[in-house]
């Protein structure tokens, strides 16, 4: 994959200075290094991983198997980009992030270590990885290389607030999987203004969330142009329009999305399809503070195929690391049965093939006790949609299309035509810049 031309000259200079550090050691050198104390740096970009989770899922398993390795976490504010971190001279050995545009942030600046040779060298069995996860990771490399090791699969599930169902005498949802349209119909019954409070029956989460259930990405792989003319995208936006048309859904300040605090703290959302890992931790934090919410889990919505999408929480190895072999041992260790058992018990879906681990899901998380955790596993996980380096920018176009429908009176077809044109302009500019 070619680097994008907008990488700053300063960044290029730093990478050139560091480029001699990415050489993989020979087997004898690796053995020698493993006997010496090594400190590796770890940085989280774009995901949620608390210090407790970092220690429990990464640090402690590493210490148990490789006592010579010490892990230090680099802490930055949420707005720090990979480019900015590198320009400060703090390029980490290991990065924790999600599949999707975040992968490209590191691929574009050329710091991702391809892992196939290391996997072969240390005889790591990648057949242990769930096939949809492995295929998704390989899809980010034109050569089908493995560029990350997956910690967990952050699947979509449906959260619902039983208090709102009780308030309006609506029966709780069944445990059988429902389509997006069926969930929307249920949400209509619960979008009610009562005693000065506007309750939102369902927040679908925006087109980016709903699109996890289709098989079409932002860009047509055959033509290299926008894929927004595909019927899959019309299906997504038809659904979004139905949501926006529910009286009371669009907020007084033109709100089209409601964050998790509206569900957990304001308690105004009855149904919220969302990523598993993004809600469980904050709900547990509320419980620890003595704030109890009567909620449960139902299977994620689908488009009639009983499939569920998600993002892959993964560890990337920097090719600028001075300790590539040791850093690889750390990230490879997360595929062990012992570590994946911890992953499951802490409310994350394991990345390896081992159905027995599902039985332990959430066992160490108090807020999940008594919840219908079996509903997490009712649908078949699907491969991530085909990725593109411009996904982050193209997702902004998707948001604009949703706003045009909800706030500017555009019909779905007109909004998608405008979005397709805007997407193709971005793609053409990127292609022309890359070719220079």
pLDDT in tens, 368-414: 999 999 999 999 999 999 999 999 999 999 999 999 999 999 999 99
Phi, psi (rounded to 5 degrees) for 228? -70, -10
d(CA 295, CA 202): 14
For residue 30, tell me if it sits in a domain: yes
Judge whether residue 54 has pLDDT over 50. Answer: yes
For residue 368, tell me if it sits in a domain: yes
**CA dist 130 → 58, 133, 199 (Å):** 20, 5, 39
Q: For the domain that residue 29 is a member of, what is the CATH number? A: 3.40.190.10
For residue 216, tell me if it sits in a domain: no
For residue 317, tell me if it sits in a domain: yes
Residues 158/298, Cβ–Cβ less than 8 Å: yes
**DSSP summary character for residue 376:** G
**Residue 347: which domain range?**
9-154+311-381
Mean pLDDT computed over 233-261: 96
The per-residue pLDDT for range 249-298, each reduced to its tens digit, is 999 999 999 999 999 999 999 999 999 988 888 898 899 899 989 999 99
**DSSP summary character for residue 56:** I
Mean pLDDT computed over 346-375: 94
Coil, helix or strand at residue 414: helix
Q: What share of the chain is helix, strand, coil (3-state, %, to 5)?
A: 45, 15, 40
- Provide the pLDDT for residue 285: 86
pTM of the model: 0.87
Judge whether residue 319 has pLDDT over 60. Answer: yes
Neighbours of 122 (CB within 10 A): 14
How many helices (H) and strands (E) the chain has is answered by 18, 13
d(CA 267, CA 262): 6
Please give the mean pLDDT across all residues of the chain: 90
Pairing of strands 149-161, 295-298: antiparallel
Residues 152/285, Cβ–Cβ less than 8 Å: no
- Provide the pLDDT for residue 35: 65
Which tokens in the block code for residue 98?
């999600």
Judge whether residue 16 has pLDDT over 60. Answer: no
Which tokens in the block code for residue 432?
């022309």
Q: How confident is the model at residue 85 (pLDDT cuts 50, 70, 90)?
A: confident
For residue 436, tell me if it sits in a domain: no
Q: What total number of domains does the chain contain?
A: 1
- Provide the pLDDT for residue 436: 64
Q: Residue 285: CB partners within 8 Å, gap ≥ 6?
A: none
For residue 134, tell me if it sits in a domain: yes
The per-residue pLDDT for range 86-123, each reduced to its tens digit, is 888 888 999 999 998 889 989 988 999 999 999 999 99
Q: How many residues does the chain have?
A: 436
């Amino acid at each position: 994959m070619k680097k994008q031309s907008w990488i700053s000259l300063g960044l290029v200079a730093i990478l050139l200075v560091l480029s001699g550090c990415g050489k993989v050691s020979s087997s004898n050198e690796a053995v020698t290094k493993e006997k010496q104390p090594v400190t590796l740096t770890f940085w989280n970009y774009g995901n949620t991983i608390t210090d407790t989770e970092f220690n429990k899922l990464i640090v402690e398993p590493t210490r148990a198997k490789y006592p010579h390795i010490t892990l230090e976490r680099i802490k930055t504010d949420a707005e720090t980009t990979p480019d900015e971190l590198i320009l400060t001279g703090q390029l980490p050995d290991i990065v924790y992030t999600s599949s999707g545009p975040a992968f490209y942030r590191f691929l574009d600046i050329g710091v991702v270590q391809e892992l196939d040779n290391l996997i072969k060298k240390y005889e790591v069995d990648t057949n242990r990885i769930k096939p949809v996860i492995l295929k998704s990771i390989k899809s980010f490399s034109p050569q089908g290389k493995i560029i990350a090791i997956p910690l967990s699969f952050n699947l979509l599930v449906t959260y619902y607030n039983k208090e709102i169902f009780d308030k309006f005498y609506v029966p709780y949802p069944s445990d059988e999987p429902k389509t997006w349209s069926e969930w929307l119909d249920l949400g209509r019954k619960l979008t009610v203004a009562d005693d000065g409070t506007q309750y939102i029956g369902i927040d679908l989460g925006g087109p980016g969330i709903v699109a996890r259930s289709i098989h079409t990405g932002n860009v047509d792989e055959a033509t290299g142009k926008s894929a927004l003319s595909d019927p899959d995208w019309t299906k997504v936006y038809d659904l979004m329009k139905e949501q926006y048309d529910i009286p009371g859904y669009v907020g007084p300040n033109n709100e089209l999305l409601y964050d998790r605090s509206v569900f957990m703290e304001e308690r105004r959302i009855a149904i919220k399809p969302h990523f598993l890992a993004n809600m469980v931790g904050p709900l547990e934090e509320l419980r620890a503070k003595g704030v109890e919410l009567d909620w449960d889990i139902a299977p994620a919505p689908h488009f009639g195929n009983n499939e569920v999408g998600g993002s892959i929480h993964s560890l990337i190895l920097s090719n600028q690391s001075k300790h590539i072999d040791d850093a690889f041992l750390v990230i490879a260790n997360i595929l062990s049965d012992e570590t994946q058992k911890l992953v499951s018990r802490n409310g994350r879906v394991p990345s390896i093939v081992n159905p027995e681990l599902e039985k332990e899901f959430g066992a160490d998380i108090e807020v999940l006790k008594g919840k219908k955790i079996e509903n997490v596993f009712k649908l078949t996980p699907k491969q991530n949609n085909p990725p593109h380096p411009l996904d982050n920018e193209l997702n902004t176009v998707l948001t604009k299309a949703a706003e045009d429908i909800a706030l500017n009176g555009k019909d779905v077809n007109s909004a998608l035509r405008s979005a397709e044109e805007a997407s193709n302009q971005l793609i053409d500019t990127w292609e022309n810049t890359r070719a220079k």
